[in-house]
Structure 1
Amino acid sequence: MKKVSSVEEYIEVNSHFSDALTLLRDLINSTQLDESLKWSAPVYSLNGKNVVGLGAFKQHFGIWFFNGVFLKDEQQLLVNAQEKTKALRQMRFESIEDIDKAAVLAYVKEAIENQKLGKELKPERKGKTVIIPKELSTVLKVNSELNTSFKALTPGKQREYCEYIESAKREATKQTRLDKITPMILKGVGLHDKYKNC
């Protein structure tokens, strides 16, 4: 997909569906949603929360409902685009004639109401246990300061460090990684913290 800098450009690039996308855009813009461009596609949000988005492909185009799982879908217009998506639902069309304006607007308004009610599917937090590799475990047993600092880290940060050591195939690499992370653990920072603040 070509990177675009505006919703107008997105519609222009998808010229085979430009009239239909313009129609859907006008319907959505008649509501209180704010229009923006995210992931090189039009996205419409309420108070910073994504509600719907427009998407165009070779054979079809449609509206993404970010928390579409909560829509009643009485007209059976929604599809789950991928097996792994839990909340996302899509309303697909193949031509402008397929668009029932009243139905589209009703679904968008219901999605807005659901967002106002705070209905959203939170990603599942997998309560993985932290498995400490033997190399790190050995050092923690002899270095009480490091052990205290490691225990003070969040489970997620502990897991990142453990996986970092465990993923090294050679013993020498494990040792090098251990030497690298020791001062970081003592400072109480996570392995990837410097990237998270960018």
Structure 2
Amino acid sequence: MTNNNMHPKVEAFLLRAKKWQEEFYKLREIVIDCELTEDFKWMHPCYTLDNKNIVLIHGFKEYCALLFHKGALLKDPKGILIQQTENVQSARQIRFTNIQEIIEMESVLKDYIKEAIEVEKAGLQVELKKTSDYEVPEELQLKLDENPTLKTAFEALTPGRQRAYIYYFSQPKQSKTRTSRVEKYIDQILDGKGLND
């Protein structure tokens, strides 16, 4: 591996890693072997092609992972790509719990990375769901219909914020709980704030 490919912040990140250090180094070696440029974004090693993000290496408590930014577009013949949560539209992870798994999967990982590079070169985009594709829960719709100011405020929110609310309000099985969630956030919506602001 040539040194000009190595980003100093990534090196520092890897040296500081208390967990998954060995796994991170191996993943890095595999990714760099696929001729991507190493960068450091969102506090993690990120690998790019012409400044477009291809994969990211990150660690969690239970696993470390290779995150494909446009993983939803990969064919996934091995069925190993994981969607982190149902809100994640584009990215997919391949998870590992030990170095052995990474070593055994090296050639598969390279195939996936190469496909991800081809997807990027072809300029493919993930078709993101629009807010209108989400079903607005009845309890929210009722409040919006009753309160024109609230409706205007909700419609003025960014699509991402609208989706986060719709998703959050839709989760409870009971209508009563859905209603109380909506009521709890009315002021926040009127203030033009998102769910987590």
In the superposition, the TM-score normalised over structure 2's length comes to 0.61
- Is 1:104 the counterpart of 2:127? The answer is no
Give the Å deviation of 1:32.
Answer: 2.6
> Hey, what's the Cα distance between the residues in 2 that align with 1:28 and 1:111?
11
Give the Å deviation of 1:15.
Answer: 3.0
Give the Å deviation of 1:122.
Answer: 4.7
From 21, 31, 34, the equivalent of 2:34 is 31
Answer yes or no: is the 8 Å Cα contact 1:14–1:56 preserved in 2: no
In the superposition, the TM-score normalised over structure 1's length comes to 0.61
> Hey, what's the Cα distance between the residues in 2 that align with 1:14 and 1:60?
13
> Hey, what's the Cα distance between the residues in 2 that align with 1:24 and 1:159?
42
> Hey, what's the Cα distance between the residues in 2 that align with 1:32 and 1:119?
20
Give the Å deviation of 1:167.
Answer: 2.4
- Is 1:77 the counterpart of 2:80? The answer is yes
Q: Taking every aligned residue pair, what percent have the same amino acid on both sides? A: 29
> Hey, what's the Cα distance between the residues in 2 that align with 1:66 and 1:46?
12
Q: Which is greater in Rg? A: 1
* Corresponding position of 2:190: 167
Answer yes or no: is the 8 Å Cα contact 1:17–1:61 preserved in 2: yes
* Corresponding position of 1:155: none
Structure 1 unaligned blocks of 5 or more: 128-132, 135-157, 161-165, 169-198
Q: How many residues align?
A: 145
